[in-house]
Structure 1
Amino acid sequence: MTTTAHAGVLDALTGLEACWQAGDAGAYATLHAPDATYVAFDGTVMTGREEIVEGHRRLFDGIMRGSRLAVVERTIRFLDPATAIVVQRAGIIMRWQRGRTVPSRKRLSTNTTVLRRDGDRWLVVAFHNTRYHPWAETLVGRLMTRSAT
């Protein structure tokens, strides 16, 4: 894909991070398509900008006030010139964790973001967030995958 398309997707992602850090639910939602689908880590589904605004306003006014997003790793793949899929491991750094540069393990999530080109900018059309808890690293997972000797 072109460097312009890649840069446009990165601009959209950086914009999302900036809006989150500013606690601006309205600006955050404008980076999503009017009919975007947003699935939060707890399974809550928000459809459209208004639901995304309301869902995030409550977060930014409450527990997520003063928090910021921190990306640990990211891949971007283009399906076609106007569609990008971003898979990233990221997490929230809470306001009381000011000295942190990476999220704590318990706040890590893996998320998938689908973006579409809309004129000269990229908008999120679908987002799905899942807490990062690899089963094989849990006690039960380790016990279940142990080889019998």
Structure 2
Amino acid sequence: MTTTAHARVLDTLTNLEACWAAGDADGYARLHDVEATYVAFDGTVLTGRAEIAAGHQPLFDGIMRGSRLAVVDRDVRFADAETAIVVQRAGIIMRWQKSRKRPSRKRLSTNTTVLRNDGDDWLVTAFQNTRYRPWAKTLMGRLMTRSTD
């Protein structure tokens, strides 16, 4: 894929982060396709810009006010010339955690974002967010995968 396409995808992701930090639910939603599907970490499904904006505004006005998104690692690949798939580990840094550079473990998620080039912009068409809780790193996971040799 061209470096221009890659840069434009990163621009969209950077703009999502800026809208989040600004508490701009409408701006955040505009970076999604009109009929985008958005699956939040708790399984809530929002469909389309209006639902994405309406679902985020109470968060930006409430508990997420002043928070910011922080990406820990990101992989961008292109399924074809018009479709980018981004898998990243990221999380929210709350307003009272201003000195943090990385999200806390409890706020860390892995998400998949599918972006489509509409001719002018790269817009999010699908987003899935899952809390990062690797089972193998839990006490039970370590016990269950322990070798008995």
> Number of residue pairs matched?
149
1:6 aligns with 2:24: no
1:105 aligns with 2:67: no
Gaps of 5+ in 1: none
Q: Secondary structure at the match of 2:109?
A: strand
TM superposition score normalised by structure 2: 0.99
**Distance in 2 between the 1:126 and 1:138 partners?**
30
**Distance in 2 between the 1:17 and 1:98 partners?**
16
Other-structure match for 2:88 = 88
Other-structure match for 1:147 = 147
Gaps of 5+ in 2: none
The Cα offsets for residues 87-131 of structure 1, whole Å up to 9 and x where unpaired, read as 000000000000001101111000000000012210000000000
TM superposition score normalised by structure 1: 0.99
**Distance in 1 between the 2:143 and 2:59 partners?**
37
Letter matched to residue 48 of structure 2: G
**Distance in 2 between the 1:106 and 1:53 partners?**
25
**Distance in 2 between the 1:88 and 1:61 partners?**
26
Other-structure match for 2:40 = 40
Spell out structure 1 runs of 4+ moving beyond 3 A: none
The Cα RMSD (Å) is 0.5
**Distance in 1 between the 2:104 and 2:31 partners?**
27
Other-structure match for 2:122 = 122
Other-structure match for 1:15 = 15
**Distance in 2 between the 1:45 and 1:118 partners?**
23
